[in-house]
Each structure stands twice: as C-alpha cells, then as structure tokens.
Chains A and B, each alone.
Chain A
Amino acid sequence: MKTKYVIATVVIIVLIASAAFVYVHYQGQTADSGLAALQNLVDDDDYKTILTAYPEKIVSVAPSATEILYAIDAGDKVVAVTDYDNYPYDFAAWVAAGNMTSVGDFTDPNLEVITSLDPDLILASGGVQVESVDTLRDLGYKVLVLDPTNIDGVLKNIELVGNATGKRAEATALVNDITSRITAVENAVANEAKPKVYYEVYYESTSSWTIGAKAWQSELIEIAGGTNIFEDQQIDYYQFQVEALIDRNPDVIVLPASGMGTGQLESLDVVKARPGWDTMNAVQNDRLYQIDSNIIERAGPRVADAIEQFAAFFHP
C-alpha cells in the first residue's frame, strides 16, 4: 500500500513540477522574444542598439519618425519633437500649450533640451543629423537612425520602431496595410500607359531643382504608374536645365503645394506662364497637380497615401 502512495506522490510532484516548468519556460519565452528584439535593434546606420526595457520617454528629431510612432500607437511615449513636426497632430500648438517639448530645428536639434529630458530612446534621421547623432551616442543615449532610401526601407523602419517600443503587432498591421494598398495601386495601373512625370522641387529665376533616379520620390512615381522624366539621372535632388525639361516634354507636372516655393505658386496659371512651358503636353492638356510635399518627402507611414495620390494624378 505504502508503495502506491509513494508512487502517487511522486507522480503528482512530477506533474506539478512539469506544469511549473512548462509555465516558467513559457513565461520565459514570451519575455525572451520581446527582449531578444530589444537586444538587436539594427538601424539604417548599421548601428546595433541594445535596450533593456521598452522606452518610456522617446524624443523624435525626425518628422517621419514621429509619424511612425503615432501610427503604431506609441505616440504616448513621445516627449519631444522638432519644429517641423505637424502630423498627425499640430505639434506647434501642443508646444505652445505646454503639452509637448520642442527640440527646435530639424537640421540642428537642441542637444541641451534633449539631454534635459533624459530620454530612453531617440529617433533620428540620417543626412544632416549625422553629427547630432554621433554626439548623442557619445553622451550615452540610445539613438535609432531612420534613413530609408526606398519603400522597403520604410517598412523595415516601421518594424524596427515596433520592436523598440513593444508595438510589434501594431507595426505588422501597419506594414500589411501599406503593402496591400500599394499592391492595389500596382494592380490598378498595371496595364495603363505610363505618363512622363516632372516632379518639381524648386523653381526660381535663379535656379530650378528636381529629382533624379536616386531620390525616393522616383520610386513612388514608378509604382503609381508614371515615369520620372529624369529617371536616367543617377542623382537625387539636383539643379537641372529647364530646356532639358522642355525638350523631354512631360505629360504630367507635380508641384509642391507648400514648402519650398517663394509664394510664386499661388496659382497654376503662374506655372503655365513660365517661359516655354506652353509647349509641354502637361500644360497643353492641363495636367498640373499640386501635392502636400510633406506627404511625399517624408519617408514615413503616409507612403501609401503618396502613391495613391500620384496614381490619381497619373491615371484619373
């Protein structure tokens, strides 16, 4: 009889122990997969950042990064943005009301403001911010550099920010949404003829600027069923000869509705009246469109909006 009790006790102990082990093991695994992601945050700088916990205070010094944070429901952790940030909320008004801190200029964010906030994570972009990023890393701050050159890069960055903030499900959902919207546009324009598109960056009496193949807008134009008229130019933003544009004769002209102009763009008639532009197909067929340059120029979660808008211009 005694043996029976011993066996039963051993079996019960083994069962409880197994259950406990499985439970502990399972717990460990969930914690581990999140932490593993925090251990391996590789950004566009190829810099590996290691976080020990999900950040509670995030400073975003790039408007595109701010847009990503709010789009994946991590906006409540944002404590400071730049003066350029204006989406998804009017951050300037928040700053004025004291509900948000500004780190000032995008090209030269105020390091004293950033250090005084003592953030757990800083999201920056590349290019002009490289020096600030180096300084912040020297000061011991965790900085993720988001500097995508194409749509894949944007999607990767959304996943990266999702991993860093513990919003992995939201990030995946956003990526899937963007991908499916882009695919829908691609399918819709697949059999359409591709118009030659001129994308304006800046036009003044002193110089004119547009985009070449290496600018990321070129890819957006391509996906939306158009061809950047300067896609053979292996360069990003550059000063070009307007006579080349007249010679190539664009079918569609896209102009920034805000941003770089000097107030000259109050009406498209001004554009049509530029010297020699009346010979262009786009002007003769009245196919000039204005677009909020923030949507196009920020490599952020509104990339699908940008492509849908382009597609509406190219294939009305």
Chain B
Amino acid sequence: MSTDEVESTFFRRTSRWKLIVVLLVLALIVTVIVSLNVGYAQIPFPDILGILGKQIPFLDGLIDSSLISPQNAAIILQIRLPRILAGVLVGAALAAAGVLYQGVFKNPMADSYVLGVSAGAAVGASLSILSGIGFVFLGLRLVQVAAFIGALSAMFLVYNISRVGSRVPVATLLLCGISVNFFLFAIVGLLEVIASDELHSIVFWLVGGFSNVLWRDIWAILPFIIIGIVAAYFYARDLNLLAMGEETAHHLGVNVERSKQILLVLASLTTAAAVSICGLVGFVGLMIPHLTRLIIGPDHRILLPTSTIIGAIFLVICDDLARVVATPFASTLELPVGIITMLFGAPFFIILFKKKKQSYAA
C-alpha cells in the first residue's frame, strides 16, 4: 500500500465515522423531540413547540402563548425536558463508562458493577437515607453526594487492594472488584434490615429512575460527565493498543499503568455522577458497548462516541416506554426505568447477538 492509499483509506474511514456520528446525533435530537410528546398529559405538538419557543430569546415575542396552560408549560419545561436530558446524560455516561471498563479489562463482562462502583454508590445512598439528614450541597442533596462519594471510594478501595507493586493486573482487579461488590451489597442488605421507616426510601432509590430530576441535578452532573467522556476520548488510541495486550501496548509507547489508572478514574467519575441522580439503572453500561461493537466495529475512536450517543438514545427511549406503557389504559402509572432497560434491552441484545455471534467466536 502506498502512502497515498493509506491516506485515502484513512480519510474514507474518518469521513464515514463523521457521517455515522452526525446521523446518530440527528437520531438523538429526533428522539428527544419525539420524547417531549410522550407522557400522561396530552399536549399538542404545536403547543410543545410554542412552549419551547417562548424560552428562546428574540423568538418569544413572536409566539402567542395565551392559549397554552401554565400546567402544560410546567409539564414540558420542568418535568419532561429535565427528565429527558437526564436520560441523555445518564445513558451517555453509563455507556461510555461501559466502553472504558470493557476496554481496560479486556473483559466483555466488565461494567460499573465489577469495580464495586455501583455497590459503593448504593452503600453511600443507603447510609445517607438512614441518617435522615436532608441537606443540599452545591445543588445536590445528601443522598446524591453520598452516592457519588460511595462510588468513587469503592473504586479507590478496589484499585488499591488489587495493586501489585506499581502494577494493577486485570485478573486481580476483577477478582477484588467482584469481592468488594458482593461485600458492599451485603452491607446494603444489612442497612435495609436495620432501616424500618426508611426501608422504602432505600429500596426505591436502588430501583433507579429519574422521574423527578431537577434542572439543578442536571447542571450538577453535566461537567463530570462531559469532562469524563471528552477526556476519555483522548485515550481511545491507548484503548485500541491495550486491546492487543498490555505488553504490545507498552512496546508501542503506551504508559500502560498510567492510562489504565486515568481511564478507570474517568469511567468511575462519569458512573458516579450518573448513579448519583438516578440510582442503579442496570444493563446500559454492559449492553450498549457490545451492541455498538457489533454494528460499528471495535475501534475505540469510533466506538466511544457512538456508544455514548446510542446509550443516550436507548435510555431516553426506555424512559419513554416507562411512561407510555400505561397510557392506553388511561393510567397514571409509571414503570421504573431500570426494569424497562432490562426487559426490552436484554431480548433485543440476545437477538442481535444470535445473528452476529461469529464475530465473538473469532
């Protein structure tokens, strides 16, 4: 292959990648707009556009909002929009973290549960609920701050236990992670037994969801998730080289231990930010990277951004389903989104996997 050919393949590939990302971003925008129509209250689409338009400077004077009820405006701007954006952020964060965990561990089963990160968040949240203290810190409530701290502490605990000298072998990391995960969930179980009045709060928190997410919750987690994902993108090449083996990666100039450390911190940071507002929403971090890998391919430079966007789309659609399931029966019922992600996600994934499992066998 001549240099020109290499260059032209590279440009063809990157332009194809750009196209994929642009299409996915468009799909995400469409999903968000469609999702604004989903819910118990029947709000006509022109009204939704009017309500949104009112928020845009210069445009607000042109819109006659006299016919729009304040209830509908509140539902769109304060209930549905933050909730949909929370779905975007949490889905993106969990999927991106999933790519990083799976890439660092070179293990298809790796997700935020493996490092005990989710369990750490659960312990932190349970403890804060049991304490009964209600306070707000930087716009976050104690339960959210505690979940965040719990998630990060669990990760540091696992990382330090599994360290052998200056290295952190993947095998010890996985085993320590799984042990710490079981240990922490046992603590959650203990706390549930001790909690009598607060039991419901703990159980409901663990089920996960973002029904009543506030704008300030979104502003609070936004920087962590954006910084986490963007920073991780600069390590996509390292992840590709790590996939060839740590030895090879080392010889190709990757500071393996440092890259692993940074990637784990970034993954745990985004996961912690996500679970701090939505509790434990399962399967997104595990499934979406695999799904994307089957469709797009294993190169982390495209896998990471596409997984991030697909994760966002997936979780927003799951949350739509959680709201829409009962609507035909004139019901105000809503399902926990964590149940939807598993109920609809797992069969979909299994079907796709059955068709493409050869690529895994290879």
Contact = CB atoms under 8 A, between A and B. Distances in A.
Interface string B317-345: 00000010000001111111000000000
A205 B214 contact: yes
A190 interface: no
B74 A240 contact: no
Contacts of A84: 196
A129 interface: no
Given A202-B200, A243-B39, A243-B41, A264 B134 contact: yes
B171 to A, nearest CB: 35
B268 interface: no
B212 A274 contact: yes
Contact of B198 (A262, A265, A266, A274): A262
A258 interface: yes
Interface in B116-173: 129, 131-134, 141-144
A251 to B, nearest CB: 14
A47 interface: no
B235 interface: no
Interface residues of B, number: 52
Contacts of A205: 141, 144, 210-214, 217, 277-278
Contacts of B277: 205
A242 B196 CA distance: 26
B197 interface: yes
Nearest to B135: A263
B223 interface: no
Nearest to B204: A207
Interface in B196-211: 196-198, 200-201, 204-205, 207-211
A279 B71 contact: yes
Question: What does DSSP make chain A's interface, helix, strand, loop or mixed?
Answer: loop
A243 B75 contact: yes
B339 to A, nearest CB: 10
Interface stretch (A5-13, A143-151, A228-236): A228-236
B351 interface: no
A258 B331 CA distance: 28
Nearest to A83: B196
A230 B326 CA distance: 14
A278 interface: yes
Given A105-B193, A205-B277, A278-B74, A244 B212 contact: no
12 contacts: A204-B204, A205-B217, A208-B212, A235-B331, A240-B333, A241-B333, A243-B75, A247-B75, A260-B198, A263-B142, A275-B215, A276-B78
